[in-house]
């Protein structure tokens, strides 16, 4: 790390501005660098469903440090030991999956913050603190700068949403439509009325609490519609999806042309 933490995305969200994000699933410093240079406000390194470990996380964070993109990490679970290591490596935001109630949300927030606001272990030798070069300054700034994102993706969480979004220190309620639709009995059908009703309940609660809303989109049109509904943190794509879809489109295109030419 070459400078103190300064979370531009957290400031944008607090100011009511919309942000554009993407996922990093390939565990590659090369794809992280490419995505960072593309101009995303934030990129999320996925350790819940991605195949990476702490070493692949490190090289992706190093690659992103050359860009203005804010690095966010989705951890595997609401585990303070995991959250601590991710933050020490230099993540500026943490997404915690499957937050189901107020108690779990409070635990997630505590894990992200140093005492007295939380329980994050204190060290000055880690990458986020410049390997000791600016440890005291990092400690003084981290609690205010780290972005805490609670994923809402179960019926339990929907039922408790007013309690979740009023936890001090939670910055974003991020709706996971795939898990939520599955948990409601509609696997693969996030457009089902039951799922949409649950999403609407989360949206209303977040707006009442002035907590930013986040979710997933798969196109610019879908993202635009979500921004129009009040979302501020929306993903557009992932490095893996761009490679997979781009490769498939290239092959389909040339096969169509060759097939037509052979007549």
* Residues labelled as active-site residues: 49
C-beta neighbour count of 33 within 10 angstroms: 18
For residues 11-31, one letter each, b for 16 or more C-beta atoms within 10 angstroms of the residue's C-beta and e for the rest, the string is: ebbeeeebbbbbbbbbbbbeb
Distance of CA 181 to the CA centre of its chain: 19
């Amino acid at each position: 790390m070459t400078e103190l933490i300064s979370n531009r995305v957290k400031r944008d969200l607090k100011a009511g501005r919309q942000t554009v994000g993407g996922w990093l699933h390939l565990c590659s410093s090369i794809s992280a660098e490419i995505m960072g240079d593309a101009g995303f406000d934030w990129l999320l390194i996925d350790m819940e469903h991605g195949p990476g470990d702490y070493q692949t996380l490190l090289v992706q964070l190093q690659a992103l440090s050359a860009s203005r993109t804010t690095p966010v990490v989705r951890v595997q679970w609401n585990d303070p030991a995991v959250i601590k290591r991710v933050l020490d490596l230099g993540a500026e935001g943490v997404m915690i999956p499957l937050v189901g109630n107020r108690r779990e949300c409070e635990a997630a927030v505590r894990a992200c913050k140093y005492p007295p606001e939380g329980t994050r272990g204190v060290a000055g030798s880690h990458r986020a603190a410049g390997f000791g070069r600016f440890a005291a300054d990092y400690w003084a700034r981290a609690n205010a700068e780290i972005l805490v994102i609670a994923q809402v993706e179960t019926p339990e969480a929907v039922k408790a949403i007013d309690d979740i979004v009023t936890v001090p220190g939670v910055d974003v309620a991020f709706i996971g439509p795939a898990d939520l639709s599955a948990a409601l009995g509609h696997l693969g059908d996030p457009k089902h009325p039951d799922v949409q009703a649950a999403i609407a309940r989360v949206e209303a609660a977040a707006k009442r609490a002035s907590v930013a809303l986040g979710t997933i989109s798969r196109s610019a049109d879908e993202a635009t519609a979500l921004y129009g509904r009040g979302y501020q943190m929306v993903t557009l794509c992932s490095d893996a999806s761009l490679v997979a879809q781009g490769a498939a489109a290239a092959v389909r295109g040339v096969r169509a042309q060759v097939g037509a030419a052979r007549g």
